[in-house]
Every structure is written in C-alpha cells, then in structure tokens.
Structure 1
Amino acid sequence: MFRLRKLVKMKLIAASYWRQSWSVLLLLLSVQLSAFTEPLASKSAAVITPEVEKPTQQAAVTWRLYRKSEQFEMSYRDTKTDGRPVLEIKAQFVFKGRMSAFLQVLRDTEHAGQWLDSTHSVKIIASPSPFEDWVHTIFDTPWPLQQRDMVTCSTWKQHIDYSIEMIVIACDDKWPVATNTVRIKQINARWLLQSLPDHLVHVTYIGAADAGGGLPRWLSDRVVIASSLRSFRALQQQLSQPDYQQIVAEVCEPEMSTASQALPADVNTTSCQRLKSGAK
C-alpha cells in the first residue's frame, strides 16, 4: 500500500510539472525568421513546391502534419544542426492585408505578447539598416526550468516577383547573457511572403532552434510544437488588423491583376523603382 501511495504521488508531481511547463519557452518563430517550401499558394490552399534552399544541414526528412485547415497548415520533423538533433517547424497560412503588415507586426515589440506565446519581453537592440534588426527576446519559463532568452539578427529583401524573404540567425555577441539564464542558440529560420489575389498574402515559415539547458527531447518537442501552433494562429489574426496595414517605405506593395499577375501598386514610389532597377 505504501508503494502504491508513493507511485500515485509521483504521478501527481509529474502531471503538475507538465502543466507548469505547457506554456513554456521558445517557439521557433522567435520574432523575426523563415525558410520556404510548398506554399499553400491560393485561397483554396492548393500546394505548390518551388525549389528552394533547405534551412538545415541535413537531407530532407518527411514532414509530419500537425494541424491543417483551409488557410493554415503546420508540420514538424526531426533534423540536425551542427550534428545536434533539433526539432524543425514548418507553418503556412494566409491572411488578408498588406505584406507590409508582416514587418509592422514584428517591429511592434510592445505588443509582441499578443501573438508570440510565452514571451516575457521583446526588444529591438539595433537596426543597422531598414532591412536589418537585432532583437533580444526573453521567454517566460516556469519552475523548475531556467529562464531562457535569445538574440536574433534578421535581414529581409524583396524579390523581383514582389515576394519578401526574411532570414533569421542567432547572434549571441550582440547582447550579454544574464545570470541564471540559458541562451537559445543555433537558430536557423526563414519567412517567405507571397501576394495573392483579393488582397491576400501567403506566409511560409520554416525554422529550427536548440532550446539548450539539457531539456529532454520528449518534453521540449511537445512544448515547442504546442507553443508554435498558438503563436502562428495568433500571428495570422494579428497580421490582418487595421493598425498594421500602413505601407513600409522599403516595401513595394503589389496589386494582383485579374490574370493573377502581380503589379506594383504605385510604380512611382522609391521602393518600386528600386525593385524594378534590380537594386536593393
């Protein structure tokens, strides 16, 4: 009987630990990232597969579907970065609005907690150019886990087809590590934004990161997947908010013709002229 009571007590402790850990840490999304394959490509969520560079250093591994709806899809797979096993997340979704909204939301760090799950604070350390941001993010991490943070450097560019690509990597040297804090490293991610008819934008994200601190994979993977799902769905809603539809000066906003061809909304803007000339 004593052994039975002890076993029940241990299970209750484990269950309590899991509930505290459920909303934890990182979310590979960070606050500025991406890599792209198989975008949903249309309102009906049909899938196309452009040939693109993979974000990790391992040959392609089959993606495991986690959630799917008409305008949202999220998958995951195991991969390796610098020889270490990590979890890789892929999310694809559609929102109604301007492509500029993506940059507006990411730069609104004051309200990052409205969509980025389990964040304590997000701070833009520096913006070396209109196309670069250095960001420090601290995550809310429940006991008994140590607090986690990460420093990311993001760069973005707009291609001649009006799509926007953002690359995010870890840059630990841009901000010191605080005492009793575990730094999330080996961050490798991309975003791709593509304009669709009817003022819709298709977003694709692929990213991986190492949570660090010796977390067991069975715990960290389940937490990251659940946290990422909440964040991507919240981001999908946030991007459509009217407050974020102001055009970013460096973005050439396209309009789709009846033949689904992307045309610049205003060819006289500096950003559209720069894009047409092939200069960044």
Structure 2
Amino acid sequence: MRSLKRIALLCGVSALLSPVAWAENWQVAKDEDGIKVSLSEVPGSKYKAYRGVTVIKAPLAKVQALQEDVAGACAWIHECKAQKVLKHEGDKTWTYTQFNTPWPVTPRDSVLQVTTVKQADGSLLRNLKEEPTYVPEEKGFVRVAQVEGFWKLVPQGISTEVTYQVHTEPGGSVPSWLANKFVVDAPFNTLKALRERAEKN
C-alpha cells in the first residue's frame, strides 16, 4: 500500500511538473533586443516547444494587470485576432482566443485554462492548458488540439523577469516553414509588445 501511495504521489508531482518535463536540451534560436528565445524538441511531437525570457522595467503588479486584461492582451499577443474570458472561478480562468494565420492556412482558435499560483518568493506562475472541447468549435476555425506551458513573473526590485514557455499541437495541417517561424516569432513578438506596454508611464 505504501508503494502504491508513493507511485500515486510521484504521478501527481509529475503532472504538476509536466510543462517542465519536456524542457530539456534547449537551443538558443534568437537573442536580440534583450529577449532570448530557446527551442526544445518534444518527444512524440513534430512541433518544438519554445521559451522566451526577458526583463521588463516595470513592477510585477503592472505586468500581471496587463495579462489579466484578457481582451486588451490581444493587442500584444502574437497574431491574436480576438480574445475574451469564458469563465473565472477562484484561481482559474478560461479564455477563448482567435488567431490570424497566413493564407492558405485555416485560422486557429484556442480555449485555455489559466491557473494562477502565487509563489512563496513573491513570483507568479500562470499555468496554461488547452481544453479544446470546453466550448463548441467555431465555423471557419481549426481548434488548437493541445497547449502546455506557463508564464512566470519573478520580481527583481522595480523590474520583473518574465518567462513564457509553451508547447503547442496546432491541430490540422500546418506547413513546416510556418511552424518553424511561429515558435520563434510567437515568444519574441509577444514579449517585446508586452514589454513596450508595461514600460510606458
């Protein structure tokens, strides 16, 4: 029985750490303008995980407020067309997002469950998980099949270190050139635009 409990505990811990479990062998793909983007192969997937890191000269509370303005955040999220809150309950928020894609790729939409956890050191972790069947599919869009990742905000005095790490299974057919471009552009452009807004007076 004790060994069963230990296995159950390990499974629970691994589930909590799942966004980090594939975060190995990161290779820097872009290091520019104070933003470092790294990519990692993910076992069983043809799409790479991406991680972007930057330091924003603004307090954590300001960065957090920009993230929690779900509709407004569409202005700084890469290729976001529209975004809204579906439900908010405790530390969880469900959001719906529509994304632009270049022709002839069908536009994507996504339903994310965002779980916000305040860490003991004052940092903020926002875990991202796709829930593709949470709402019916929209005509003209392909629902993103899977998202695993997180935002991590770490206070550094009057600044905030921001990490944005995600692995996506976009659903449907996506050309390799677009997938390879997206995993670099998405974290870089998103962090750059978030930083510009956060650092405005």
TM-score, normalised on structure 1?
0.61
2:31 corresponds to 1:68: yes
Flag the 1:239–1:185 CA change in 2: closer, same or farther, 3 A.
farther
Give, in angstroms, the shift of residue 138 of structure 1. 0.2
Distance 1:139 1:70 in 2: 25
Identity of aligned residues (%): 22
Alignment of 1:255-266 (within 5 A): none
Distance 2:136 2:65 in 1: 27
Give, in angstroms, the shift of residue 57 of structure 1. 5.2
Of the three residues 11, 19, 39, the one matched with 1:55 is 19
Corresponding residue SS for 1:172: coil
* Alignment partner, residue 46 of structure 1: none
2:54 corresponds to 1:93: yes
Moved over 3 A (4+): 56-59
* Alignment partner, residue 143 of structure 2: 183
* Alignment partner, residue 118 of structure 1: 79
Of the three residues 168, 172, 191, the one matched with 2:132 is 172
Corresponding residue SS for 2:46: strand
Note the alpha carbon deviations across 1:244-270, whole angstroms, 9 max, x for none: xxxxxxxxxxxxxxxxxxxxxxxxxxx
Alignment of 1:121-140 (within 5 A): 121-129=82-90, 131-140=91-100
Flag the 1:59–1:241 CA change in 2: closer, same or farther, 3 A.
closer
- Residue segments in structure 1 that go unaligned for 5+ positions in a row: 1-51, 243-280
Contact persistence 1:162–1:195 (CA under 8 A)? yes
Distance 2:62 2:36 in 1: 20
Distance 1:232 1:59 in 2: 19
Distance 1:157 1:229 in 2: 24
* Alignment partner, residue 241 of structure 1: 200
Of the three residues 37, 45, 63, the one matched with 1:84 is 45
Distance 1:216 1:132 in 2: 33
Give, in angstroms, the shift of residue 217 of structure 1. 2.5
Contact persistence 1:55–1:188 (CA under 8 A)? yes
Corresponding residue SS for 2:139: coil
Distance 2:111 2:86 in 1: 9
Give, in angstroms, the shift of residue 124 of structure 1. 0.7
Distance 2:129 2:103 in 1: 28
Number of residue pairs aligned between Structure 1 and Structure 2:
186
Distance 2:183 2:53 in 1: 17
Alignment of 1:187-202 (within 5 A): 187-197=147-157, 199-202=158-161
Alignment of 1:2-13 (within 5 A): none
Give, in angstroms, the shift of residue 220 of structure 1. 1.6
Note the alpha carbon deviations across 1:66-91, whole angstroms, 9 max, x for none: 222574211112213xx333211111
TM-score, normalised on structure 2?
0.82
The residue identity in structure 2 corresponding to 1:226 is: D
Distance 1:192 1:228 in 2: 13
2:104 corresponds to 1:144: yes
Q: Which moved more, 1:168-177 or 1:212-221?
A: 212-221
Of the three residues 53, 61, 67, the one matched with 1:106 is 67
Distance 1:54 1:67 in 2: 25
Q: Which moved more, 1:199-208 or 1:108-117?
A: 108-117
Contact persistence 1:168–1:187 (CA under 8 A)? yes
Distance 2:30 2:22 in 1: 24
